[in-house]
Structure 1
Amino acid sequence: MPDDTFKEFVPDQLGALPELRARAMFGAHGLYAGDRFFGILDEGRLFFKTDAVSAADYTARGMGAFTYESKGKVLTMAYHEVPPDVLENAPELIEWARRAIQIAAIKPKTKKKSVRRGS
């Protein structure tokens, strides 16, 4: 499916989600539900935000993580490609999207910086 058609198809499939919008970013498009960044549209593929538990569902179906190259290194993000059969089934796709939105709402734990005291 050509990329422009795909960029129209995915929002149509996800039309039941509130406050859905796509925004151009780094040659791809980010999907947002309100202020929650939960998906990536890139080169005719859809990726959803994952955590350790949900990523297993994607990898069990043969789907990989979103990767990109920066400064000669390949970096992997916590987004996995949505299986084609899920993509074609709007009700199921919406369920997967809702799970991705919930994951996107969880703030990552940040390490506390230790305070060094002068001697």
Structure 2
Amino acid sequence: MSNSPDFVNHCLELLAPLGAVRARRMFGGHGLYVDELFIAIVAGERLFLKVDAETRAAFEGAGCGPFTYATQAGETGVMSYFNAPDEAIESPMLMQPWARLALAAALRARAATASKASARAAKKAARSVARPAAKAPAAKPRRTDRTPS
């Protein structure tokens, strides 16, 4: 799944109008970030953009397919990334609508993660308030019947 540096750089140029973009090696390919938000995967000389329930139909309608990989168990794993339409790979202008969909999906995913984290924190705080504090063990009474030697 190795990618040529030229193709990775081309993908970075395609996404540059969205903001600060960078690539990081991962998955045997590259992960692409816009403003530190993970929105794309470059694997096997193909660009895969983040999708979610709201954007998947647009990608499927354009004939795009999901990013798949082989698991250690020999099964096929599927991630929420679809290949960009072939014509969108030709220019940043043609990529923009697709890149914006990927960015929106990534923003929704981040918001959902933050919301879940807040809910977990609130639940944990509620549990700690609901539990009474553990009592300290009672101190042993002091012997007062000692006689001096």
TM-score w.r.t. length of structure 2: 0.67
CA deviations 1:7-54 (Å, max 9, x no partner) are: 121112222221211100021100101221100001110000001231
User: Quick one: distance in 1 between partners of 2:10 and 2:37?
Assistant: 20
Partner of 1:68: 69
Task: Give the CA deviation at 1:68.
Answer: 0.8
Indicate the structure with greater strand content.
1
Amino acid at match of 1:4: P
Partner of 2:23: 22
Amino acid at match of 1:60: G
User: Quick one: distance in 2 between partners of 1:89 and 1:35?
Assistant: 23
Greater Cα shift, 36-45 or 100-109: 100-109
Q: Which has the larger radius of gyration?
A: 2
User: Quick one: distance in 2 between partners of 1:95 and 1:62?
Assistant: 15
Indicate the structure with greater helix content.
2
CA RMSD in angstroms, aligned pairs only: 2.3
**What runs of 5+ residues in structure 1 fail to find an aligned partner?**
114-119
Q: How many residues align?
A: 114
Q: Percent identity?
A: 33
Task: Give the CA deviation at 1:57.
Answer: 1.5
5 Å matches for 1:38-57? 38-57=39-58
TM-score w.r.t. length of structure 1: 0.82
Amino acid at match of 2:98: W
